[in-house]
Each structure stands twice: as C-alpha cells, then as structure tokens.
A and B are shown apart, each in its own frame.
Chain A
C-alpha cells in the first residue's frame, strides 16, 4: 500500500518537474507542429552569446529569450533557416553557430586534430622503424627488452 503511494508520488513529482521545466521556456504561437519542430531544430544549432555553453533553445538568459523571439518573428516573415543564421552572424559573428564555417580563420580548428593525428602516426612509425632496425641486428631477447624500456 505505502509502496504504491510512494510510487505514485514519485511519478507525480516527475511529471511536475517536467511541467516546471517546460514552463521555463515560454510557449510561442506556432502556425503548426512542423514550424515548431523547425524552430526547435534551428535554436538547438545556435549558441547563446551570453552563456556560451548553452544553446539558444536551452538558455534562460534575457538575450537568449530576445533572440528566440526574434527568430520566431523572422520565421513568421518567411525567412529561411540560412537567412536567419546570416542575420545572427551579421550581428554576433560566427560565435553564434555551433557548427563553425570552413574559412582561413578556422582551418586550425578543422584540421588541427588531423595534424595532431598525423604527427602521432609519424612518431609511432618512426619508433617502429627504429625498433625494427635495432631488432634486426640484435640476437638476444635481452637487448630487445632493454630497448623497449624507453617507451
């Protein structure tokens, strides 16, 4: 009996928690469900300029609320996702995009990991070659084991 009560209370609390969370972001008068989905998709790709670890969709900062309203307004005017992104980039720079565009300023960001990977591969390759060369001349197991100690 008490267990059922507790379980019901738990479920009620869960539902309440969900409701409170939903209230944090004010509802908007969307034309239809498709537009709402498009809005959600778009705002999840954009970064809140104030609290840069949150998307525009999640953030409760005043500027995020203003920008959500502005995006909604632009959508009502029939602007495409790209046009809305351009509108925001013109004001808040590429920082607003979670997916930074490929351009000279972001080459290091895009290709840096590849460079590090290639560098690492080079080191491993050189090490293997060296070990093979040393290993070819060596006849005893002890020498090979000694060489391995360095790594």
Chain B
C-alpha cells in the first residue's frame, strides 16, 4: 500500500490537471461574467449610425425585446460572427440591434456595405463611453434585453452556430415564454 502512495498522488495530480484542460476547452477563461445579468440595462442615448442627428435611448427600445450586438469594422472575430447573424436574424424571434463600438462611422458603413447588414437598427458609440456602462471590453459581445429593459443573457465573443443553437436561442425562447 505504501509503495502505491506516490503513484496515487501522481494520478490525483493527473486527474486535477486533466480536469483543468477539459474545463478550459469548455469555457473561455478570459470571459468575465457580467454583474449586470438580470439587472436593468444601463441607460443610454446614442446616435443612429446612418442618421447621426437622431438618437436612440433605452426608453425608446422598451416594450419589445432585442438582441444588442456589439460589433466593429476593426474587429476580426465580428467578421466570423457576421454570416451567422445574417442567417439567423429573420428567425431569431427578437429584434437585432447593432451597436457599433469605437468605430469611425465611415469605416462601419463601408464594412456593412461589403458584408451586408443583419440589423434592424444601428446605433453608434464612437467614443466607447456608453459601452463602459455595459461592461463591454471587446467586440463582439451580445446582450439579450427583454421588453422591460432587463439584461437576460450575455455572450462574449463571436456567436457561432453552436452557441446560437445551444445558448442564444434557448435564452430567447425562455424569455419569450415567460413574458409573451
């Protein structure tokens, strides 16, 4: 028995490290859990990308749920996410609002012209000031906000077809079921 002890200790360590590797393949170790989950979304008032004279506030969007997608033309992973959003937008069940983050409006428009726009509404946060209130630290990030303006789900990083099917759509379905 005593002779086996070091081996058992070694196997425990193998198990521990193996668990660590497995855990990190399932979870993004850099994703910061948002403290805003199930709390009211921060108030904002941002200009529309195509009509900067008009602004959109949180109050304007109350009454119907929406998926707020933070993107930028400089963000490489947004290009990965874009076709997924474009394919999903018509059957998403909620309005898709584009949040153009720290981008020159001309760059954003050129990018959307080249790739197409899945968004029903586009707002621009050129300075990134409002994004701090949302706890945004990169792009892409997506917030599911319900009709009462509460953040129901957040995804950090690109929405892949797998994330869409296993996380985003169930979150939307759960939200719509609860508050028709």
**Interface pair B35/A50, CB less than 8 Å apart:** no
Decide if B102 touches A92 in the complex (CB within 8 Å). Answer: no
Distance A108 CA – B46 CA, assembled complex (angstroms)? 42
Nearest residue (CB) in B for A91 is: B135
Q: Assess whether A93 is in contact with B137, with CB atoms less than 8 Å apart.
A: no
* Total interface residues in chain A, CB < 8 Å: 15
Q: Which chain A residues in 66-84 approach chain B with CB under 8 Å? A: 66-67, 70
B residues less than 8 Å from A93 (CB atoms): 32-35, 135
19 example contacts (A-B, Cβ-Cβ < 8 A) are as follows: A49-B137, A52-B30, A63-B128, A63-B136, A63-B138, A66-B127, A66-B132, A67-B132, A70-B132, A89-B35, A90-B35, A91-B36, A91-B132, A91-B134, A91-B135, A92-B135, A93-B33, A93-B34, A150-B2
B80 to chain A, nearest CB (A): 18
Show the binding face of A for B, using Cβ within 8 Å. 49-50, 52, 62-63, 66-67, 70, 89-93, 95, 150
Q: How far is the CA of A67 from the CA of B36 in the complex (A)?
A: 18
Complex interface bits, B7-35 against A, C-beta within 8 A gives 1, otherwise 0: 00000000000000000000000101111
Interface centre among A63, A89, A90, A91 (most CB of B within 10 A): A91
Return the contact of B137 from the options A70, A89, A90, A92 (Cβ within 8 A).
A92
Question: B128 touches which one: A62, A90, A92 (CB < 8 A)?
Answer: A62
Interface status of B3 (Cβ within 8 A of chain A): yes
